[in-house]
Amino acid sequence: MNTDEFPDPPVDVDPSDRPYGKSRLIGGLLLLLGALMLVVVFSGQLEKEGGRVRALVGMLASGGSFIGAGLVLFPWTGRMVAGFTAENNAMIGFKKLPPLWKAWLVMAMILTVATWVAITVGSQ
């Protein structure tokens, strides 16, 4: 007879606490887009572009990659998505996020603004 001496306790996981279905997909897409933008930056093609395109490429290369990495490593749960989309105000939705994601999004914002400033000032 093949029985387990130490059976695992039953685990009742609420479906809303599981990773949201498209969270890692969106994160992977942002990582891919950020990697493509980094190739554009390091290949020297960014020097040939105008101001708005330069800023967009820089923001996607930095902030997009950082948020994409966050979504791949720490995917949003169904509860996080429902809490954020239930509000019409982004700041109220932001307050409902866990501390890890609050810090992650603040760092992404700082990184994005710093990249935008560096590219804008560097182009003059």
- DSSP code per residue over 38-88: HHHHHHTGGGGS-HHHHHHHHHIIIIIHHHHHHHHHSPPBHHHHHHHHT-S
For residue 10, name the pLDDT band (cuts at 50, 70, 90): low
pLDDT in tens, 36-62: 888 887 787 777 776 677 777 877 888
pLDDT-derived band at 11 (thresholds 50, 70, 90) equals low
Regarding predicted confidence, which is higher, 31 or 83? 31
Structure tokens given for 100: 């890890």
pLDDT reported for residue 28: 93
| Count of all residues that appear for the chain in the document | 124
Please give the pLDDT value at position 96: 84
Query: Has this prediction a pTM greater than 0.75?
Result: no
DSSP of 15-45: GGGSBPTTHHHHHHHHHHHHHHHHHHHHHTG
Q: What is the pLDDT of residues 110-124, one digit of tens each?
A: 988 888 888 777 666
pLDDT tens-digit series, residues 63-105? 888 999 998 999 988 888 888 888 788 888 888 888 999 999 9
